[in-house]
Amino acid sequence: MAAVQLNETQFWQSIAILIRNYHALNKKIFEVLITEVQKLQLGKLYESNEAELEQQLLQSNGNARTCEGFRISYKMLTKKLSSNILANGIVDFSKQSYECHFVADSEFDDFVVQLIDGQLKAEPLAKDPGVECEQAARWAYFVLKPKLCSWAQSRLDKNVQKSLRLLDVEMYCELYKKLKQKHAQRLLQYWQTANESTDPLKFIYEDLAIAAYLITLWDCTQSQPTAFADLGCGNGLLVHVLNAEGYKGYGYDVRRRKLWSLYPEPTSSQLIEQTVVPNSFRLNYPDIDWLIGNHSDELSPWLPVLAARLKTSFFLLPCCPFELSGAKFQRRNTSISAYQDFMLYAHQLSDLCGFETQQDRLKIPSTKRLSLIGLKQTAKPVQELEFFVQQELQKHRAGSMDNSVKLREKAESVRNCTQVEKSIIDSLVLKIFNMLLSNTKTTNGNDAGNKWLPGQQLTMRDIAQGLTKPELTGIKSECGGIKTLLRNKHEVFEFCGDDRIGIRKPKAADKTGKLLTIKKRPCFFKLHHPQGCPLEDGECSFIH
């Protein structure tokens, strides 16, 4: 990488970020906990804390520092490993260096980072003298050093919200690992039996993480529910996992899902097909004292309102923003994103409902990770809340006195290519595939060498011009255009930037998934590429 000139302040800023974010450099680490901080003064170690450590590291005037360095003890929480990793960090201000040493028998490599004549140097520290590890050296040079240089030149935002701040993170991490081990394989089998078209791994791991969050939250705040209700529960996965972990609860949704009948009791009888009409909704079960809104769409702004009316606590993890009227959310503050603006709006609603509202950031495979939690409710005049609700409803009714809420229909229209006849989809995919290959084939169907033909890249405009008007019209009426079709066929096509499309070269299946991947469909390249699939049968994720 190109040499980057850094000053001392930038160097220590990068170390301050590294100390809390080692998991950003190692995917096996879930989170880093600082268990002890000691400062070095006049050659002796004294007790210190994280606040003093950060203050000394970010001190712009090096002469103003009050100690020579720090010794930091870490516990690194792992994502899959059975045990967590212990490590020690050593900050030496005089040498302008930071060392990280892992406990004996750890699979992670010790390393040192130094600032020498304005240049950042990162290299591994061999556990055995005279033994060098090429892999560790490559990681230090190609992963650690570029990341540190980036952090050194970034603008440090001290207001960034920490993830899982309301929880005991270690308790959460251990529970999440247990839930994955206990439930993931069985839930995947449910998905395959129901022939669900959605991505099982995203939904399964996301809902397992949310379940782990809720259980840990309830334990940490001593607010375990007598029973909960998940409003807009969708496939019912979160309800099922919480039920299986001993938490009584129910799920409400406007439409029954195929997965519901596959869940064992008590879940299968506690998923209720019912439209939740906010102005008239009543709980079927009097013991419910927690409401959950997990990507509950039109119901999201209503969750604190319903919780206030029903005198329950609530957990809200919103996705698509909506008004109380059911209309798409209208931004109040254009200087921030619509999602952030909606979170502020929902937070204000919760405060108006009398809740002591807490906000937290979850660690889930989603970009929408902010949650609101309403635990304690103070006495608020009911009239004040209801007056505000009626005002909000009328605001989006253009002066009409109709205060009904626009909710989704029970039979929801599908516009993602699944309603287009399969033969039409297949012919379009094959036509586009051949367009990408057309200028790279030779007369006998192979290139000059035996190298697998990757095809060319074309713009969306090029592809559209190669299709007939009826083909474009037909696909647009069902899914919004050819781009959605190509995204749905991500195993064949890839987006290469600048609105260009190419052929995705098949990659060998990830063996670490073990039983999580079962071959169900024939290999497109085996059938249609002039040279077949470049992978062996055992390597490919599809049937040869």
Q: How far apart are CA 321 and CA 340, in angstroms?
A: 10
Kindly report, residue by residue over 18-52, the tens digit of the pLDDT: 999 999 999 899 999 999 999 999 989 999 999 99
pLDDT band at 228 (very low <50, low <70, confident <90, very high): very high
Residues 6+ apart with CB under 8 A from 235: 196, 198, 203, 257, 259, 260
Q: What is this structure's pTM?
A: 0.75
Question: What are the strands, taking DSSP E only, across 328-369?
Answer: 355-361
pLDDT of amino acid 507: 87
**Weakest mean pLDDT among 81-85, 475-479, 540-544:** 475-479
pLDDT of amino acid 449: 54
pLDDT of amino acid 128: 66
Highest mean predicted confidence (pLDDT) among 126-135, 214-223, 358-367:
214-223
DSSP 473: H
Q: Please compute, for residue 306, the number of CA atoms within 13 A of its CA located in the half-sphere on the CB side.
A: 27
Q: 132 and 143 in contact (C-beta within 8 Å)?
A: no
Kindly report, residue by residue over 124-148, the tens digit of the pLDDT: 987 665 556 788 999 999 999 999 9
pLDDT of amino acid 403: 58
Nearest Cα neighbor of 148 from 78, 107, 106, 97 is 97
Query: What sign has the CA pseudo-torsion 408, 411, 415, 418?
Result: positive
What mean pLDDT is reported for the chain?
87
Q: Measured between alpha carbons, how far is residue 89 from residues 115, 269, 324, 381 in Å?
A: 16, 53, 50, 54
Q: How far apart are CA 69 and CA 57, in angstroms?
A: 9
